């Protein structure tokens, strides 16, 4: 199954989801991530994923033009903007929305901000694991 993780900026949330899907679901999911308005991948996302042994090095923020949209089976939006702004991607594809907070908007001390990144990362990991199990079990 080809899954597109879509977020407005293709930054932390969609990049983490793609990385977990490639890591945990490589045999059942071909994962892509993209953004409506691509932006940089947050260094905190890179750091918290490295703690899980998953690298975001070499990942880059991509727009929809970098994804084989005609082949996508499921679109998962991870932020409100992408969910609201992408009706053109519906078609015959499945669609889910995982409303997750944007960790890049976290404020406070460095440890406060990292705590938000950890929480979002862990939620994404659990959701991807559930998705992989669902797809594997048919």
- Tens-place pLDDT, residues 40-55: 778 899 999 999 999 8
For residue 86, indicate whether it is catalytic: yes
Give percent of the chain above pLDDT 70: 86
Q: Where are the domains of the chain?
A: 2-136
Q: Between 37 and 34, where is the model more confident?
A: 34
Q: What is the mean pLDDT of residues 85-107?
A: 77
Span 14-41, mean pLDDT?
A: 86
Catalytic residue among 21, 78, 79, 124: 79
Q: Is pLDDT at 59 greater than 80 in this prediction?
A: no
Catalytic residue among 3, 6, 7, 19: 7
Q: Give the span between the Cα atoms of 68 and 122, in whole angstroms.
A: 28
Over residues 77-90, the mean pLDDT reads 65
What is the number of other CB atoms lying within 10 angstroms of the CB of residue 30?
A: 16
37 given a catalytic annotation: no
Told to judge if 94 belongs to the known catalytic residues of this protein, a careful annotator would answer no
Report residue 92's pLDDT band, with 50, 70 and 90 as the boundaries: low
Spatial distance between the Cα atoms of 66 and 30, rounded to a whole number of angstroms: 14
**Would you state the pLDDT for residue 104?**
87
Question: Rounded to whole angstroms, how far apart are CA atoms 134 and 127?
Answer: 10
* Helical axes 43-50 vs 12-24, angle rounded to 10°: 30
CA 89 to chain centre: 16
Between the alpha carbon of residue 47 and those of residues 14, 16, 41, 51, 63, the distances in Å are: 15, 11, 11, 7, 23
* pTM: predicted TM-score of the whole model, two decimal places: 0.88
Is domain 2-136 classified as CATH 3.10.180.10? no
pLDDT of residue 89: 62
Average pLDDT of the chain is: 85
* Catalytic hit among 28, 54, 64, 86: 86
- List CB contacts of 107: < 8 A, sequence separation 6 or more: 113
pLDDT at residue 82 greater than cutoff 80: no
Contact predicate 94/4, CB 8 Å: no
């Amino acid at each position: 199954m080809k899954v597109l993780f879509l977020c407005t900026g293709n930054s932390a949330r969609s990049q983490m989801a793609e990385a977990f899907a490639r890591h945990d679901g490589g045999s059942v999911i071909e994962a892509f991530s993209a953004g409506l308005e691509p932006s940089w991948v947050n260094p905190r996302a890179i750091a918290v994923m490295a703690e899980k042994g998953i690298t975001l090095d070499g990942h880059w923020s991509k727009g929809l033009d970098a994804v084989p949209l005609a082949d996508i089976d499921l679109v998962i939006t991870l932020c409100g903007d992408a969910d609201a702004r992408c009706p053109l991607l519906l078609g015959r594809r499945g669609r889910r929305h995982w409303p997750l907070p944007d960790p890049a908007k976290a404020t406070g001390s460095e440890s406060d901000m990292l705590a938000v990144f950890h929480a979002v990362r862990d939620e994404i990991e659990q959701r991807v694991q559930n998705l992989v199990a669902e797809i594997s079990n048919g």
